[in-house]
Amino acid sequence: MTEWLRVGAPALEPAWFEEVRQVLASGWLGTGPRVAAFEQAFADHRSVPVERVVATQSCSAALMLALQVAGIGPGDQVLVPAYTFAAAVNAVHLVGAEPVPVDSVAGGVVMDADHAAALIGPRTRAIMVLHVGGAAAPIAAFAAIAARHGLTLIEDCAHALETRSAGTLVGRQHFSCFSFHATKTLACGNGGMLVTPTAAEAATARRRANHGVAQEAWQRRLTGPPADYCVLSTGFKLRMSDVEAAIGLPQWPGIEARRGARAQIWQRYRAALAHLPITLPVADAGHAHYLFSIQLPPEIDRATVLDQLSAAHIGAGVHYRALTDQPGLQDCFGWRAQTTPIATAAGRATLSLPLNARMGEADVARVAAALTRGIDVAATA
């Protein structure tokens, strides 16, 4: 049977499995020494103090913690990109605040800073910005808006572990949230990371992510009676486990090499697809090359193209259908697709192709052939 090419597939090496075996053999599967080592590796990669980072179950958990630590809750409004995944709006909703969708820039998918500024009102407390697909958002513009209005800025870096802006890794100054989901460029199966502006805020987030308990069980084992504990606030269970950390730990040394491999695949795609009537993505030197998302013209039915790709055992993704174009969110918040027309149009046309460091020239050629066939079928349907 023809092997499936997936949108995101981790480039795991068999030698790395030993790290997981050691965790299983230790009997300590919860938050412990591997999570601490993973936090240190992350901090080293980004050149931030480890006291400011908190490993979480997911990027969604990190987003919710950032909002909680910033004191955002019922009665508050948070600006969110209309072009993003539901995790952003869910995090805002779960802390009791109201999400306000912001349209994308003309001809693109990045959140529009001018539209965000125009939506700020007396209840606005924060701006959440997504670095889409590995490209850096104009974070300086959003930081200026946030500073001018006294708002919290939250960077959603789920796609941007290796993304740079002006030569510097993004997500190092503000509340920043990262993903280590199974499809990400460093994949732990599940997992996330929160970077906070201060160590004190990280300590609050760590406690909130552990049911409000002052110390995690591993810390209590090292410092005192492990059975005793002290609850200092309310909270959730949102911390990463040692099993997830063990999957991710061996992946840190090769992170830039894998980024380089994806960049080569990106360029092969651009050459192989240049003849098609589609809009191809562009990348600068700081791009993480996480997603290769094309835009289909309006006359090409995306469902038909997706069917043809699936028939060829080629996975594809939709990143993203606009939040305002999602029926469940329309019912919940009274949103309408026409309120964010640019994001809506992009979300109805986008299609992400397989991209991972293990792909070769033959894989790119196979995808290009299937996509060409799919567009031809859709054009004549």
For 147-175, the pLDDT digits (tens) are 999 999 999 999 999 999 999 999 999 99
Examine the domain organization and report whether 145 and 240 are in the same domain.
yes
User: 201, 226, 253: which is the final residue of a domain?
Assistant: 253
Examine the domain organization and report whether 235 and 269 are in the same domain.
no
Q: Which residue has the tokens 């499936």?
A: 4
Q: Which domain holds residue 330?
A: 255-380
Q: What is the pLDDT of residues 168-194, one digit of tens each?
A: 999 999 999 999 999 999 999 999 999
Q: What is the pLDDT of residues 315-372, one digit of tens each?
A: 999 999 999 999 999 999 999 999 999 999 999 999 999 999 999 999 999 999 999 9
Examine the domain organization and report whether 162 and 46 are in the same domain.
yes
Domain-embedded: residue 2: no
Dihedral sign, CA of 294, 117, 168, 54? Answer: negative
Q: What is the pLDDT of residues 289-323, one digit of tens each?
A: 999 999 999 999 999 999 999 999 999 999 999 99
Helix and strand numbers, DSSP H then E, in the chain: 14, 11
Q: 226 pLDDT band (50/70/90 cuts)?
A: low
Catalytic residue among 159, 184, 206, 287: 184
Q: Are 20 and 207 in contact (CB under 8 A)?
A: no
**Of 161, 187, 158, which Cα lies nearest the Cα of 11?**
187
Examine the domain organization and report whether 128 and 172 are in the same domain.
yes
Domain-embedded: residue 207: yes
Q: Active-site residue 237, yes or no?
A: no
Domain count, the chain: 2
How many of the other CB atoms lie within 10 Å of CB of 313?
14
Q: Which residue has the tokens 């965790």?
A: 23
Examine the domain organization and report whether 20 and 63 are in the same domain.
yes
Domain-embedded: residue 203: yes
Examine the domain organization and report whether 223 and 299 are in the same domain.
no
Distances (CA, A) of 236 to 99, 112, 207: 21, 33, 9
In the chain, the DSSP E strands lie at 53-56, 77-81, 98-102, 124-130, 152-156, 164-165, 168-169, 175-179, 192-195, 292-295, 350-353
Distance (Å, whole) CA 194 – CA 208:
12
